[in-house]
Amino acid sequence: MVTPMPDVTVVGSANMDFTIPVRRLPAPGETVLGGDLAVSHGGKGANQAVAASRAGAAVAFIARVGRDGHGEEIRRRLLASGLSLETIVEDLEVPSGVAYILVEPQGVNEIVVAPGSNMRLSPADLEPYASLLRGCRVLLTQLETPLDTVHHALAQARRARVVTVLNPAPARPLPHEMYALVDYITPNETEATALSGIQVRDVASAREAARRLLAGGCRGAIITLGAAGAVLATRDGAWHYPAFPVEAVDSTAAGDAFNGVLAARLARGDPLGEAARWASAAGALACARRGAQESLPDLGALQRFLAGHPPRPPVPI
């Protein structure tokens, strides 16, 4: 059954992921031999919905999935993860989305996505679920679905004074008016560079990029920097959150873990800084395991990890 009043509503994509480990990423035109193919479940929307659910939030996930073998696998996994299928729109014409991922031994990856049915999720598809957009505590969305659908979801939530989180991935130009609908925007270095026009290489450049995003109308910006941690900026200032130390093996879903847990903790009522600490822990734990949804930590794992890593005050920058 659909959660009557979800803590978090996620609007986004659902894919099947095909991952190949490689000794190094290929140069343009080069062929490299890889290891064994791993087939798993992904899509930024699905990953973030599962991450939020595992972190203890009641989650509604709105997506569009094809009527094909991949679609059946996606539905089975979502159901097994405790998510309702009542908000999954079935596409009768276009196949489900797939992603192809190459991963180096150090965890660095390259990803190509064939979006399929994800890019046919329309504002009209959201209308039957308007109460979930307006009645949740936090709306979380990304950019693997059409931009007008993302804009519609954000506008619906904003009218109801729901906290809105936009993970602008993959990066693409955003209309100026969309920024005003976003409470918290959460790009990585590449996405922050594309959106702000500032080359993000380190904490200092991330701070400047975050400030430019705030000037666009967002209430807060969190730029994730991988092993360098994250920079959080609001109109009250900017802070650096160092990364948690882990042995990274696959960064595929680290950003999704971060965003899903951030939304879950904000829905719980955590202050932004504390929510970011939990989100950073989730991203670190996801890097320590291979796969996408397979790597997402549950609430118990997060609690144990944070118990072993006492809070460190963020560094004002």
H or E segment and range at residue 18: strand 15-21
Interval 198-227: pLDDT, tens: 999 999 999 999 999 999 999 999 999 988
Report the SS3 class of residue 147. helix
Residue numbers annotated as active site: 256
- 3: Cβ contacts below 8 Å, ≥ 6 apart: 58, 59, 60, 84, 132
Position 71 scores a pLDDT of 96
| More confident site: 110 or 291 | 110
Q: How far is C-alpha 188 from the geometric centre of its chain's CA atoms?
A: 10
Position 246 scores a pLDDT of 84
Q: Is the pLDDT of residue 2 over 60?
A: no
- Between 3.10.310.30, 3.40.1190.20, 3.30.465.10, 3.40.50.360, what CATH number should domain 8-26+35-316 receive? 3.40.1190.20
Q: How far is CA 301 from CA 58, 123, 187, in A?
A: 18, 36, 25
Residue range 19-25: average pLDDT?
93
Crossing angle for the helix pair 69-80 and 44-54, to the nearest 10 degrees: 20
Cα distance between residue 155 and residue 30, in whole Å: 45
Residue 95 token pair: 């196949």
Average pLDDT, the chain: 94
| More confident site: 40 or 126 | 126
Lowest model confidence (mean pLDDT) among 79-93, 98-112, 159-173: 98-112
Work out the pLDDT band at 310, boundaries 50, 70, 90: confident
Work out the pLDDT band at 1, boundaries 50, 70, 90: very low
Interval 224-272: pLDDT, tens: 998 899 999 999 999 999 999 888 777 778 999 999 999 999 999 999 9
pTM of the model: 0.92
- Chain position carrying tokens 């809070």: 311
